[in-house]
């Protein structure tokens, strides 16, 4: 993320650049637009959760995409998850159970 790029723009850029199955990236973009117009107070939090979860997964050597999208949709209501994740059951289930950790542990250092 550049200094001039906010967390929302950063999350949108990540979503645009990743190759994902089906219509997930389009639905994520639509969800962000939806949040912006209906619940702007949740937009920044959803993006921050998504980015932090993806970074944490990457530090652990895991695929960051499931973490990113579950963090992003963690701010969605049950109805919104049903609408925007209709064809993405795994992400919908992950998002419904996503909990923010008070402090994410750092992965152990390998020598």
* Tokens describing residue 40: 């702007």
Q: Print pLDDT tens along the chain (111 aa).
A: 655 469 999 999 999 999 887 888 999 999 999 999 999 999 999 999 999 999 999 999 999 999 999 999 988 888 998 898 887 776 767 666 666 555 555 556 655
- Output the pTM of the full model: 0.80
Residues 6+ apart with CB under 8 A from 27: 84, 85, 88
Q: What is the pLDDT of residue 105?
A: 56
pLDDT value of residue 19: 86
């Amino acid at each position: 993320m550049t200094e001039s790029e906010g967390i929302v723009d950063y999350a949108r850029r990540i979503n645009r650049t990743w190759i994902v199955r089906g219509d997930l990236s389009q639905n994520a973009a639509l969800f962000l637009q939806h949040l912006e117009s209906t619940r702007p107070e949740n937009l920044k939090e959803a993006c921050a959760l998504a980015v932090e979860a993806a970074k944490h997964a990457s530090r652990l050597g895991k695929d960051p995409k499931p973490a990113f999208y579950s963090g992003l949709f963690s701010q969605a209501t049950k109805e919104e998850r049903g609408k925007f994740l209709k064809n993405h059951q795994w992400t919908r289930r992950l998002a419904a159970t996503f909990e923010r950790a008070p402090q994410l542990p750092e992965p152990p250092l390998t020598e």
